[in-house]
Amino acid sequence: MRAVLKRHWLEIALILPLVLYIFGFTLVPVTRSIALGFSSEAGGFTFEHYRALFANGQFRGALINTLAITGLGLSLQLFTGLGLALILSRTFRLRGLVRSIMLVPMGVPTIVSGVTLLYLFDSSGYLNELLFRLGLIDLPIDWASGGIRTLFMIVFADLWKVTPVVVLLMLAGLDAIPESVYEAAAVDGATGWGAFWRITLPLLKPSITMTVIVRGVDVFRIFELPLVLAGRMTPVLATFAYTEYNQYYNSHTSGAAATFLLGVILVFVVLYLLFVERERRAEV
């Protein structure tokens, strides 16, 4: 131990602030959140907050909303992201410009994308006006009235904000597929859709798996967009935890909800280790 200290004192000194900070300001708070969820007002250990949580209609609603947004959002994001990446991996005039334009949502703060989508989805907003002018609707749709429409609104907002990231991840995967594979496939008669199903998609699987898990975590803990767009009308897990703390001063309930959220995210982490990591190790 002493020998290690003496030999590597500089390295240890250099990395210590980073380690201490992450320990003190991430790991300790997370532990405290978990502790808050399991401790009673008097300080003893209790499951009471979790029992109350699952008896709470707001929380169950938040859970269902979060699951729906995650499922719907992920599928749409993958579909759109992959489609756009396939288009952008081809050559055409103005490709550089289109690739830059695609990054525009990344240049918009999340809170601002919430605000601008509010202008779009308001009942006298721009989306209703567009649908009206296209002759698709006669009366405005109240997108924020709750239920499936509001979920769709949140999914759309998230889709807009993150599509660039998904496209970039997919493009990186596509770029990694060597041209020679397609040449060999063309000799064997696989072109167009055949080549897409038999070559592109299987070879892209690692990128898709990683995107699903990384994006899955982000959608599951989505906070700003539902807060701005739907407020307390349509809670998700994160906004539920926030409201419990901020409006009702229930830090124990908020801690329990956050811990539940953390538990689900840990499942994603395990999935990541199982699917992305194992494949990576197998490749090496």
10 binds another protein (CB under 8 A): yes
Interacting span for another protein (CB under 8 A) from 48-56, 60-68, 70-78, 159-167: 159-167
Closest Cα to residue 81, out of 95, 107, 102?
102
Q: How far is CA 60 from the centre of its chain?
A: 20
Q: Say if residues 55 and 43 touch (Cβ distance below 8 Å).
A: no
Q: Which residues of 229-252 are buried (b: 16+ CB within 10 A; e: fewer)?
A: bbeeebbbbbbbbbbbbeeeebeb
Q: How many CA atoms lie within 13 A of 230 on its CB side?
A: 33
Instruction: Tell which positions 204-263 bind another protein, by CB under 8 A.
Output: 210, 214, 217, 221, 223-224, 228, 237-238, 241-242, 245-246, 251, 254-255, 257-259, 261-262
Nearer to another protein, 69 or 257 (CB): 257
Subset of 162-181 contacting another protein (CB under 8 A): 163-165, 168-169, 171-173, 179
Nearer to another protein by C-beta: 63 or 258? Answer: 258
Note whether 41 binds another protein by CB under 8 A.
no
Give the interface size with another protein as a residue count (CB under 8 A).
Answer: 94
Which of 54, 79, 119, 197 is close enough to bind another protein by CB under 8 A?
A: 119
Stretch that binds another protein, among 24-32, 43-51, 65-73, 146-154 (CB under 8 A): 24-32
Buried b or exposed e, range 53-79, using 16+ CB within 10 angstroms: beeeeebeebbebbebbbebbbebbbe
**Positions 194 through 213 that interact with another protein (CB under 8 A):** 210
CB crowding 148-160: b at 16 or more within 10 Å, else e: eebbbbbbbbbbb
CA distance 205 to 193: 17
- Is residue 83 close enough to count as binding another protein by CB under 8 A? yes
Least separation, in Å, of the C-beta of 258 and another protein?
Answer: 4
Q: How far is the CB of 149 from another protein (least distance, A)?
A: 18
